[in-house]
Amino acid sequence: MRKAMIISFILIITALLLNASELYKPPLENKIGRRLSRSLERIKVNEEINIWVFFTDKGMLSEEAYKECLSVIENRMSERRRKRRQKTGRAQIVDF
């Protein structure tokens, strides 16, 4: 339980420290890295391993499409929510 809370805390802090421009990354050519490929080759049938999966495109295939989605979300935002988010001091008030 404590380990899960620590991991959740680290993930939340990491997400808060990133700004929206860092969250867009174009898809990689190789979806599975070399280390994971080697691990998958050596794993036994009933063995379990932990794998981090990073979803990068979220259905947006270019940085322009990403910025357009952010704009749509920001335009739909209520004034109360906009003011609350502006208090955080982040460069952009919406992100994914």
Task: Render pLDDT for 27-55 as a digit per residue (tens, 0 to 9).
Answer: 667 778 888 889 889 988 898 888 888 77
Tokens of 34: 């070399």
Residue-wise burial string across 58-68, b where 16 or more C-beta atoms lie within 10 A, e elsewhere: eebeeeeebee
Is the per-residue pLDDT at 65 higher than 90? no
> Which band of pLDDT confidence, cut at 50, 70 and 90, is reported for residue 20?
very low
Q: What is the pLDDT of residue 79?
A: 92
